[in-house]
C-alpha cells in the first residue's frame, strides 16, 4: 500500500512532525487490522462479510422459529376443534339413540297391533274366534235371533265324530304299515338265507378249484424240475466232452512243430545272422527275463522318484510353514509399530489440542510472542 502524500492547506504546508505522526498512526492501524485478520479465524476468510451472514442466519432462524410457533398453535387449535367436534357428535349420537330407544319402547308398550281400531277388519283368525250365539246365552236378549241361515249348530259333535274317524283311520294305517314292515323283514330274512347258501356253495367251488390248481402247480413244478435236471445233466456232459476235445486240440497244437519255438526255424538259410520275420514264434526265455528285470528296475525307479517327490513336498511344506510363521511375526511387529505410531500421533494431537485451547483462551487483544512472528517469511518464492 502506497503512503499518502502531504496534504496542503491553502498555500501553507503541515509541519513535518504532524506528517510523520499521521504515517505512524496509519501503519499502526494497518498492523492492528492485519493482526486481527490473522489471529481471528472467523475474520481470516477475506472477501466474506461474516457479520452480515450471521445476521442473515439469525433472521432466518428467527423466522423459522416464528413459523414453527404459529404452526404449533394452529395444530393445537385444529386438534382442540376436532376433539370438540367429536364430543358434540358423540352427544348427538347418544341423544338420537335414546330417542329411538324411547320410541321403540313406547310403540311396544302402548301401540300394540291388536289395540288398533281397524284390527278386527284384518284379523286373520276372525272366523276362528267367531262363536255361536247359543254358546253364550247370557248375551242373548228377548229380541235376539238365535239361529241364522247357514249356521252349523252340530259343529262340535261333527268335529268329535270326525276326530274319532281320523283316529281309526290312523290306527288302520299304522297296522297296515307294521304288517308291511313284517312282510318285508321276513322277505329280507329269506333273501339273506338264500344268499348265504349261494355264497357257501360258491366258497366250496372256489376252495375245490384252488386245491386242484395247487395240485396242478405242484405237478407242473415237479415236471419242470425233472426237465431242468435232465437239461443240466445233458449240458454238463456236453461241456465236459467239449472241454476234453478242446484240451486235446490244445495239447496237439502245443506238441506240433507249427507252434514249437525252434530257434533253427527263425534263422535264414542264406544268412545265419538274418532272422526270418514270418517264422517268429516268440522271445527266448532269457529275453523275457531281461524284460522283466528292466520293468522291475523301472518300477523301483518310479517308487524312488515318488518318495523323493514326497520328501520334496514335505520340505516345501515345512519351508512354507516357517515362511508363514515369519510373515505372521513380521505382521505382528508391523501392527505393533502402527499401534505405537497411532499412540504417538494421538499424544501429538492431544498436545496440539491443548496448545490450541491455551491460545484460544488468550484474549483477542493479546499480542503474540516472537515465536509466532518467526514462522512467517521463512521461505521465498
Does residue 105 fall inside a structural domain?
yes
Does residue 118 fall inside a structural domain?
no
Same-domain status, 234 and 263: yes
Same-domain status, 214 and 291: no
Give residue 295's pLDDT.
94
Please determine, for residue 293, whether its predicted confidence score (pLDDT) is greater than 80: yes
Same-domain status, 20 and 105: yes
Q: Count of domains in the chain?
A: 3
Q: DSSP readout, 222-289?
A: HHHHHHHHHHHHHHHHHHHHHHHHHHHHHHHHHHSTTT---GGGGB-SS-TTSB-GGG-----HHHHH
Please determine, for residue 9, whether its predicted confidence score (pLDDT) is greater than 70: no
Does residue 301 fall inside a structural domain?
yes
Which of these ranges, 56-70, 88-102, 158-172, 252-266, has the smallest mean pLDDT? 252-266
Per-residue pLDDT band for 345 (boundaries 50, 70, 90) equals: very high
Specify the 3-state DSSP secondary structure of 308: helix
**Quick one: DSSP state of residue 14?**
-
Residue that has been written with the C-alpha cell 528292466 in this structure: 294
Range among 36-40, 60-64, 371-375 with highest mean pLDDT value? 60-64
Does residue 213 fall inside a structural domain?
yes
Structural domain range at position 89 = 15-109
Which of 242, 260, 282 is at the close of a domain? 282
Same-domain status, 244 and 329: no
Give residue 235's pLDDT.
92
pTM: 0.23
Same-domain status, 312 and 298: yes
Same-domain status, 237 and 319: no
Same-domain status, 38 and 96: yes
Give first-to-last CA distance, the chain, whole Å.
21
CB neighbours of 13 closer than 8 A, spacing ≥ 6?
6
Q: What are phi and psi of 157, to 5 degrees?
A: -65, -45
Does residue 145 fall inside a structural domain?
no
Does residue 331 fall inside a structural domain?
yes
Please determine, for residue 341, whether its predicted confidence score (pLDDT) is greater than 50: yes
Specify the 3-state DSSP secondary structure of 267: strand
Same-domain status, 216 and 295: no
Of 21, 46, 33, whose CA–CA distance to 4 is shortest? Answer: 21
Same-domain status, 49 and 99: yes
Per-residue pLDDT reduced to its tens digit, 174-231: 999 999 999 999 999 999 988 898 988 888 899 888 888 889 999 999 999 999 999 9
Same-domain status, 277 and 299: no
Does residue 179 fall inside a structural domain?
no
Same-domain status, 101 and 22: yes
Q: Hey, CA dihedral for 229, 231, 237, 243, is it positive or negative?
A: negative
Does residue 376 fall inside a structural domain?
no
Amino acid at each position: 500500500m502506497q503512503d499518502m502524500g502531504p496534504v496542503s492547506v491553502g498555500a501553507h504546508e503541515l509541519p513535518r512532525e504532524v506528517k510523520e505522526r499521521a504515517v505512524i498512526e496509519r501503519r499502526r492501524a494497518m498492523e492492528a487490522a492485519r493482526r486481527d485478520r490473522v489471529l481471528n479465524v472467523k475474520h481470516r476468510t477475506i472477501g466474506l462479510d461474516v457479520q452480515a451472514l450471521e445476521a442473515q442466519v439469525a433472521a432466518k432462524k428467527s423466522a423459522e422459529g416464528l413459523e414453527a410457533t404459529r404452526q404449533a398453535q394452529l395444530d393445537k387449535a385444529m386438534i382442540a376443534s376436532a376433539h370438540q367436534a367429536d364430543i358434540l357428535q358423540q352427544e348427538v349420537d347418544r341423544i338420537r339413540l335414546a330417542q329411538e330407544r324411547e320410541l321403540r319402547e313406547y310403540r311396544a308398550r302402548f301401540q300394540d297391533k291388536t289395540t288398533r281400531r281397524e284390527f278386527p277388519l284384518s284379523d286373520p283368525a276372525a272366523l276362528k274366534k267367531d262363536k255361536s250365539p247359543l254358546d253364550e246365552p247370557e248375551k242373548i236378549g228377548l229380541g235376539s235371533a238365535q239361529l241364522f241361515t247357514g249356521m252349523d249348530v252340530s259343529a262340535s259333535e261333527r268335529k268329535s265324530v270326525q276326530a274319532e274317524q281320523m283316529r281309526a283311520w290312523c290306527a288302520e294305517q299304522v297296522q297296515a304299515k307294521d304288517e308291511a314292515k313284517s312282510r318285508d323283514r321276513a322277505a329280507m330274512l329269506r333273501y339273506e338265507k338264500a344268499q348265504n347258501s349261494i355264497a357257501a356253495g360258491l366258497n366250496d367251488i372256489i376252495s375245490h378249484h384252488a386245491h386242484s390248481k395247487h395240485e396242478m402247480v405242484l405237478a407242473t413244478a415237479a415236471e419242470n424240475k425233472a426237465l431242468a435236471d435232465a437239461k443240466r445233466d445233458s449240458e454238463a456232459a456236453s461241456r465236459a466232452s467239449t472241454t476234453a476235445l478242446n484240451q486235446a486240440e490244445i495239447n496237439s497244437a502245443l506238441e506240433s512243430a507249427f507252434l514249437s519255438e525252434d530257434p533253427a526255424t527263425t534263422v535264414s538259410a542264406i544268412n545265419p545272422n538274418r532272422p526270418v520275420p514270418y517264422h517268429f514264434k516268440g522271445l527266448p526265455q532269457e529275453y523275457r527275463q531281461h524284460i522283466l528285470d528292466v520293468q522291475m528296475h523301472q518300477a523301483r525307479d518310479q517308487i524312488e522318484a515318488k518318495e523323493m517327490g514326497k520328501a520334496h513336498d514335505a520340505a516345501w511344506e515345512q519351508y512354507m510353514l516357517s515362511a508363514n510363521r515369519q510373515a505372521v511375526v513380521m505382521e505382528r511387529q508391523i501392527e505393533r509399530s502402527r499401534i505405537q505410531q497411532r499412540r504417538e500421533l494421538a499424544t501429538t494431537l492431544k498436545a496440539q489440542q491443548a496448545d490450541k485451547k491455551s491460545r484460544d483462551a488468550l484474549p483477542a487483544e493479546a499480542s503474540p510472542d516472537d515465536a509466532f512472528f518467526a514462522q512467517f517469511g521463512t521461505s521465498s518464492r
